[in-house]
Structure 1
Amino acid sequence: MNRRVLINWSLALGVSLGLSTLAPKVASADVLDAVKKAGVLKVGTETEFAPFDFIDKGKHVGLNVDLFDEIGKELGVKIEWIALPWDGVLPGLESGKFDIVAGPATITKKRLERYKFSPPIAEATVAILKKKGDASITKPEDIAGKATGAGKATVQLSLLQDLVKKLPKQGEVKEYVGFNEAYADLAAGRIAAVANSLPNIAFVAQTSGAFEVVLPTFGPKTYFGFPENADAEHVKLNEAVAVAMGKIKADGRMGKIQKKWFGVEFDTPAEVKEPSL
């Protein structure tokens, strides 16, 4: 993996839901009708979330880009990307800055109290990433007593902290603003492992040549989905996106996109009604 790609990677998958107080949203017409009339679906995301969203040689690429291209075709609209830091993505969705979020988040019970989610796009179960050739870590429990890290305010950080608490010897768990900083510290030997979702670290390991994935995964089985606004104005849009994604999955396009970016296809349910977290 070249240094440029490493520095661009930030996999901040989760966010605290109480980060800001939003002003009341002014009522407006049905969002799907407005999208169809304008011919544009506005999609909010961060572009430091490889392999879902990232900048490669100045170009916005990733699984989300390919998938929303197909969703746009199904809806008959163009995709307009609005990039911003992850901590501004969900507040931006609620305030109407864009119509839907592309940055996938782990589907949890807490988030479903506030947001609707698209059909899952990939498994989000957590695994450990280590430096290639580190024989001291062959399973998740081998991080006992070692310094580890994960992205701040993420599900992955929470699960890593839970794992460390159960070990006979607890090591330091560092919180990083972005996963790129965590990977840099791992490469430099300042920490022994990084916890993140299996799809993300599998991509990092495959493309870097410097890291390895430690299996098995740990924690409950979870899934990534696109956060959607749960208010009445967005119901028709959310349903249309679900139908479009169902077609994309059924005809094999979803599997091809997953293979392109993860190297494997994920068997995901049509909907996650009762998350494990």
Structure 2
Amino acid sequence: MTFHMTVKAAAISLLALGTAAHADQLADIKAAGKIVTATDMHYAPFDMLKNGTYEGMTKDLFDEVSKEIGAEPVYQDIPWTAELPGLEVKKFDIVIAPVTITPERLDRYTFTLPIADATVSLVKTANSDLTKPEDIKGKTVGVQQGTAQFKQLEAYGEKLGGVTIKEYGTTDEAYADLAAGRLDAVAGSLPNLTYLVKERPETFALFEPAKFGEPKYFAWVLRKDAETETFAKAINDALLKMTDDGRIKAIQEKWLGSYTELPREVPAE
């Protein structure tokens, strides 16, 4: 009896190993007919809630990618600080909030091809006397917590000799404090700040030059395991197709007012 139980247990173990070895996220998504996503819907122009309706550049891009894959997107509004931890424990299939590609994150996650420029930049009030990025020395600058832009601002502040950094849960909160005079500037990615100034030119203005960091890119994030490889490839194939047929250019121009050619491979850093 012990022998039979051992054989049975071994057979179950082998079956489980075989199932794990052949786990495929793309196949699971197609079987379910849906892609469960997470993003922060307070990050214009990528993700916004307008009268309770989700819209933005991310949605337009991922709607098209989902069509190419053949599954319906399920969009969820999740605080940024909970997105990557939630991805790791499989609460959703992918984080579509724009995530800056960094060497540290590349070690831990699978990134898709870039979806936008993410170079850190600065915005001020329209009547501010500050002009160039170096002028933030000794000033108070807001930035969204837990972002690559925070780390770049921190390093830049140390290089200048001191900047007081105030962290915010959302960029909207930082912009509100800037408009109210509680901040001297806000650091963020160039597309976000360009859109802000475009929408509210009477209140905000970009520094000249706006950028102060090394070139960076936004992308979407998947778990880093063999199970996600086909899903990541399907997304990248869709993005390349959309680049070649002009859809990405049209979406960028709609939301950003201009087109930036993006790498056709995931940057190494």
Deviation at 1:220, TM superposition (A): 0.6
Deviation at 1:254, TM superposition (A): 0.4
Q: Which amino acid aligns with 1:198?
A: L
Residues 89-124 of structure 1, C-alpha deviation per residue, up to 9 Å, x if partnerless?
A: 112212222211110110000000011111101110
Is 1:108 paired with 2:108?
no
Is 1:148 paired with 2:112?
no
Deviation at 1:152, TM superposition (A): 1.4
Deviation at 1:130, TM superposition (A): 0.3
Residues 109-146 of structure 1, C-alpha deviation per residue, up to 9 Å, x if partnerless?
A: 00000111111011100111000022x21110011222
Is 1:252 paired with 2:246?
yes
Match of 1:73 among 67, 70, 75: 67
Is 1:63 paired with 2:67?
no
Deviation at 1:40, TM superposition (A): 1.2
Match of 1:164 among 157, 166, 172: 157
Aligned residue pair count: 248
> Equivalents in 2 of 1:249, 1:178: separation in Å?
30
Task: Report the structure, 1 or 2, having the larger helix content.
Answer: 2
Q: Answer with 1 or 2: which has the greater Rg.
A: 2
> Equivalents in 2 of 1:171, 1:40: separation in Å?
45
Is 1:179 paired with 2:198?
no
RMSD: 1.5
- What secondary structure sits across from 1:145 in the alignment? coil
Match of 1:206 among 198, 219, 228: 198
In the TM superposition, 1:12-91 aligns within 5 A as: 27=20, 29-91=23-85
| Counterpart for residue 132 of structure 2 | 139
Deviation at 1:261, TM superposition (A): 1.0
Deviation at 1:167, TM superposition (A): 2.1
Q: Which amino acid aligns with 2:150?
A: L
- What secondary structure sits across from 2:265 in the alignment? coil
| Counterpart for residue 14 of structure 1 | none
Q: TM (normalized to structure 1)?
A: 0.85
Checking the alignment, whether the CA contact within 8 Å between 1:127 and 1:215 is kept in structure 2 is: no
Is 1:195 paired with 2:194?
no
Residues 148-193 of structure 1, C-alpha deviation per residue, up to 9 Å, x if partnerless?
A: 111112111121122222225x342212222222111110111110
- What secondary structure sits across from 2:97 in the alignment? coil
Q: TM (normalized to structure 2)?
A: 0.88
Deviation at 1:83, TM superposition (A): 2.3
| Counterpart for residue 272 of structure 1 | 266
Q: Which amino acid aligns with 1:197?
A: S
| Counterpart for residue 235 of structure 1 | 229
Checking the alignment, whether the CA contact within 8 Å between 2:133 and 2:207 is kept in structure 1 is: yes
Identity %: 43
Q: Is there any run of 5+ residues in structure 2 with no aligned partner, and where? A: 1-18
Checking the alignment, whether the CA contact within 8 Å between 1:149 and 1:174 is kept in structure 2 is: yes
Q: Which amino acid aligns with 2:127?
A: G
> Equivalents in 2 of 1:231, 1:200: separation in Å?
31
> Equivalents in 1 of 2:54, 2:256: separation in Å?
17
Checking the alignment, whether the CA contact within 8 Å between 2:81 and 2:146 is kept in structure 1 is: no
> Equivalents in 2 of 1:273, 1:159: separation in Å?
18
Q: Is there any run of 5+ residues in structure 1 with no aligned partner, and where? A: 1-25
* Mean Cα deviation higher: 91-100 or 241-250: 91-100
> Equivalents in 2 of 1:83, 1:149: separation in Å?
23
